[in-house]
Every structure is written in structure tokens, then in C-alpha cells.
Amino acid sequence: MNKKWEYYVSDDEKINKISNKFNVSKLLAKILINREIESDEQIKVFLNPTRNDFYDPFLMPDMEIAVNRIIKAIQSNEKVVIYGDYDVDGITSTTVLKKFLAERGLDVGYYIPNRLEEGYGLNKEAIQDIIDKNYTLMITVDCGISGVEEIELCNKLGIDTIITDHHEQLEELPRALAVIDAKRKDNKYPFRGLAGCGVVFKLIQAISIKLGLDNKEYLKYLDIVCVGTISDIVPLVDENRVIAKLGLMLIAQTKNIGLKTLIIESGYKKIDSNTISFGIAPRINACGRMGYQNEALNLFLTNNIEEAREITSKLNKYNIERQAKEKEIFEQAISKLEKEDVEKLNSIVLCGDNWHHGVIGIVASKIAEKFFKPTILICFDKDEGKGSGRSLPGFDLHEALVKSSKYLEKYGGHEMAVGVSLKKDMYNDFKKKFEEIAISQNVKDILPVIRIDGIITSKDITKETVKEIQKLEPFGEKNKTPIFVYKNLKIDSIRALSEGKHLKLTLKDDNLLINAIGFNLGHLSEEYTLGDKIDVAGVLEINNFGNQEIVQINIKDIMKSI
């Protein structure tokens, strides 16, 4: 599939100014400008964030009310419960708040809904269970902003509620005692992009300030908050950048036995955003996806090394289960697509009986990426269907569901990811309508875009360049790993690896030989041959091979040189 290379506009005057003032290379200065990090203060905090770079937590809506109510609960030794979520953000949020309050002398209960049986967010059955256990204060983490009816039930039954969330506010705000969410319409907090665990971090920071505690009493939880922040794919800029950067340093020496055990068992040696995104997050999320949400929480809460090892072993098992289910559904979906002319389709809507709806979102994402078409997968249990959808930039998936809502029982989400439920007899009509919407929005004209940070030459193929770029770690949303273009390279060798899946090349620029790898680009070995002149778009990285450190290009795309 053709990809569009989009180059950031270069401003030499700005580049030179930043390069000289902050003693960084022009390449690094250009990347900072590309990320819209241009002011002296922004650059200082981005490159070297400190514990002094956190905003005043009391700028968040309702923070003062929440803090006073929680301190009252601590002083009165009330029965308090945390209502969380089953993903990494929810699990880390629950962990941090429960541990912090326990150190203040409060033995806090918790409730994590089962993804397969209850779904996301507050539900009335769970609220009733909490009421029956005589809790007097419920604090939600990573959920609650849309729980208008459930909070009304709490009010009716006499339990106080504090909502901490980071999702968008609906038209009506729940009538909780306090609603702490920087995405409230009346928000004045300087940064709207915190994860759920980031909001909890601000809450414990505020409580610490109010109680006159040492800063370390809340800062020591940055390792767990960092895991939730990176895993939740929130923008890793501004205050999230401070959380992630400082948190990664703390993870390297974490005192959380469960987290330390999980890192060791994941096999990752270097502590960076990849360790969290690909080593930690999938294992924690697998618990929620497979219906074992409490295991992940217990891992972070335990102080027993043997228990941590035992739970970690279970997490690895659940992750393998998740991968197997995912592979099975993916293969079935591809088989169904082979019976359709996928090239002629503008969208993909597929269904299967008894597909595991805890993993179909991941499969939908893989199919959307493979065919570059908005994709919705639906699993039917008799007449009831539940589905997950993933989109591509330029096609608003949520808006498409609004336009086809008469065929759906329920739906929700945002531009890039949605959840749906529908009756089986509505499936074909929905599929037809969704395709019509995709056609009307010219989905076939949307090309995958690679944002190019700059053009590099032989002088940039050094370990020093790569190590300087690593100053921008952790990479993630809004701070993507920089991609560069190297032009007019001659193919010196080319072959496919792993049964044709990956691409291995050596490329020549005069007398310089450059190693290159292209994951999932093995098919290109049939399109290019020795001696071809090519331009490559890719990431500069160091390949630790044996005892050697070799700079290589991790290729994202190739085109013939003009």
C-alpha cells in the first residue's frame, strides 16, 4: 500500500536559536520544534523535568471539596471504597489511592467490575452491593464522569461519592459531592491530558499538601502512576511528560514487589516506554480482558515475593490465553474476508458466534491497520451482539455510528475507537449502512501518513546521534519516535526473514555501509533488487549484536529515488 510522506516545515532561525541556547544538535532542535516545544520554559521542562514542575492540584475542579471529605473520612475512620476499572489505568489508579490511604490509617475496600459480565464503568448492581456493605464514601477512579443515574442512586441511598476521572464530560454532570476531571466544561486546570492515575496522583498530592506531609509521601508512587500513564496512550507531553520521565527513573529502583517481579518476568532489561507498553501493559490488560481483573490489582498490592511470583505466573498464562484467542479470531476474520473482495470494500464489518469480546478490539485494530479501512468486529451470543471498532485518521467512527444508530442498541466511544451492541437481525442493515457512510466520506482516498522529522545523511549515522535522540524518551502519543528520511541509498544486499515476514538490507552511501531492518515489510524483497537506488523513511536505533553496538535504520517505508 502506498504511504504519504509528510515533512515538517523547517525554520532554520528557530533551529539555530534553540541549538545554541540549549547546547543540543540542530537535529534535536528541529524535532523539538516539530513537537511544538519551542519556548524556553517548555524546552527546559521537556528535556529536564523535575518534581517542581507539577501544577497546583487545587486548580482542579472540586479538589478542595474532595480533599476535605477524604480527610474527614480518615479522621473518623470511615468505611471507604474505591470503584475502579479493569485496565492498566484503572488498576494503577486503584493501587495508588488504596496504598496512600492505607498509610494514612484507612483500610479501604475496592470494587473492580468484570469486563465480560459488567462492562466498563459504574453499574447499579455494583452500587447496591457497595451500599449493602455499609460503605459511607465511594471514590471512583478512571470512571464515573458518565454515571449520572448511578450517582443518583448513591445519593438516594445515602452514600457520599467523589468522582476522579479523565474522560470527556457528557451534557449532564453527575451530582456527586465532588467531580475531579480536567475535561469538565468549566475546567481551569492548565493540562487536560492526564490519565486516570494522573488525576489520582493530583488527589494524593493535594491531600499531602493539606495534611502538611513530606513530598515523598506522594512522589514515591510515581513508578505506578508512570505505568498507568504510558499504558493508557495519553499524550506524553506537559505534566504527563513529567510523570513519565520521573516515573521511569523510579521504576528502575521500584520498591513495589509486584511491579519489580513483573518486569523481571517480562524479560526486558532496559527500563523505557517500550518496557511498559510491550512488557507490562499487555500482561496487566490481559487480566481484565480474560475476566481476572483482581489478579492484576493483587500483584501491585502484595508485599510477599512468593505471592508476587505466583500472580505474575498467572498473568503470563492469561496473556498467552489472550494471544491465542486473538490469533484464533484474527485468522477467522481473515478467512471471512477472503470470501469478500476486500479491495473493493471501503469499510470492514465482520461478525462471529462466540468470539471473545474481551479481545476483539485488539483484532479490529490489527485488521484496520492491515487493510487501512475502518473496522468493526461483532461477537454474537445467540441474538445479542457486542462489538468493537477501530478507525483511521480522517474517518470519524463515532460520527458514523450516530448516522447508523437506528440499527444499534447502544454505542459509545470516540473518533478512533468505539463499542457497539446490536441485535442479530439488524446486522446486515448496519453493515450496509456503515459501508455507505464510508463511501460517502471517500475512505479509499485516505492514505496512511508518515510524518518525517527531517532528512539525514552519513554524518548522522552515529551512536552519538541516537543517544541524543534518546533524551526525548519516553516516546508515545504526541511525542512519537522521530522518523527520518535518508535519500539515494544503493541496495547492497536484500533478503526476507522469518518466512518472508521481515526485511533485512544493507545500504550503501559512497563507502558507508548501513544496516537496516523492516519489520512486516518482507513483501518488499520482491519489489527491489541489488543496485536499486532508494529513499528510506525510518527510525535511527542501536542494535546490540553480541558485544557490538551498531547503528541501524528501522525502516517504516521505502520508495525508489527520483
* DSSP sequence for 297-324: HHHHH---HHHHHHHHHHHHHHHHHHHH
| Domain co-membership, 440 together with 458 | no
Which one-letter DSSP state was computed for residue 205?
Answer: H
Domain shared by 462 and 377, yes or no: no
* CA of residue 9 relative to chain centroid, distance: 28
**Which of 211, 245, 279 is the endpoint of a domain?**
245
Sign for the CA dihedral angle at 47, 51, 55, 57 comes to positive
Do 132 and 236 reside in the same domain of the chain?
A: yes
CB 33 within 8 A of CB 11: yes
CATH number for the domain spanning 503: value is 2.40.50.460
Residues 486 and 526 in one domain: yes
Q: Which residue has the cell 489511592?
A: 97
Give the phi and the psi of residue 62 in degrees, each rounded to 5.
65, 10
Task: Determine the pLDDT at residue 477.
Answer: 86
What is the CATH classification number for the domain harbouring 199?
3.90.1640.30
What kind and span of H or E run contains 468?
A: helix 463-469
One domain for residues 404 and 500: no
**Residue listed under C-alpha cell 442493515:** 429
Residue 293 domain-assigned? no
3-class SS at 454?
Answer: strand
Q: Same domain, yes or no, for 459 and 437?
A: no
Which residues is 497 bridged to in the sheet? 502
Query: To 5 degrees, how large is the angle CA 52–CA 58–CA 63?
Result: 135
Give domain status of residue 204, yes or no.
yes
Domain with residue 441: its CATH number is 3.10.310.30
According to DSSP, the β-strands at 348-353 and 375-381 are parallel
CA distance 225 to 223: 6
Q: Are residues 436 and 498 in the same domain?
A: no
Residue 497 lies in a domain: yes
Q: Are 430 and 475 found together in one domain?
A: no
Q: Are residues 373 and 502 in the same domain?
A: no
Instruction: Please say which residue of 420, 445, 470 terminates a domain.
Output: 445
Instruction: Confirm whether 80 is domain-assigned.
Output: yes
Q: Is 144 exposed, middle or buried (0-12, 13-18, 19+ CB in 10 A)?
A: buried
Mind giving me the DSSP string for 118-151?
Answer: T-SS--HHHHHHHHHTT-SEEEEES--TT-HHHH
Q: Put the strands of the sheet holding 348-353 in their side by side order.
A: 348-353, 375-381, 384-390, 417-423, 410-413
Question: What is the C-alpha separation between 126 and 144, in angstroms, rounded?
Answer: 13
Is there a domain that residue 331 lies in?
A: no
Among 412, 445, 478, give the residue marking a domain's end. 445
* pTM for the full predicted model: 0.90
* pLDDT value of position 545: 73
In the chain, the N- to C-terminal Cα span, in Å, equals 19
Could you tell me where the DSSP H helices lie in 23-145? 26-34, 40-47, 63-76, 88-103, 124-132
- Identity of the residue numbered 552: Q
Segments forming the whole domain that contains residue 543: 4-11+450-560
Low-confidence residues of the chain: pLDDT under 50: none
d(CA 298, CA 28): 42
pLDDT digits (tens, 9 = 90+) for 179-201: 999 999 999 999 999 999 999 99
What's residue 1's pLDDT? Answer: 63
In a domain, 272, yes or no: no
Answer for the pair 496, 520: CB distance below 8 angstroms, yes or no. no
Residue 350 corresponds to which cell in the numbers above?
Answer: 465482520
407: which residues sit within 8 A by CB, 6+ positions away?
422, 426, 429, 430, 433
3-state secondary structure of 96: helix
Residues 430 and 542 in one domain: no
Same domain, 421 and 438: yes
Q: Are 440 and 468 members of one domain?
A: no
pLDDT at 115: 84
| Half-sphere CA count of 487, side-chain side, radius 13 A | 5
Residue 375 forms part of a structural domain: yes
Total number of domains in the chain: 3
Q: Which helix (H) or strand (E) holds 180?
A: strand 178-180
Is residue 118, in this structure, part of any structural domain at all?
yes
Q: How many other CB atoms are found less than 10 A from the CB of residue 349? A: 22
Name the nearest CA neighbour of 550 among 537, 541, 559, 560: 541
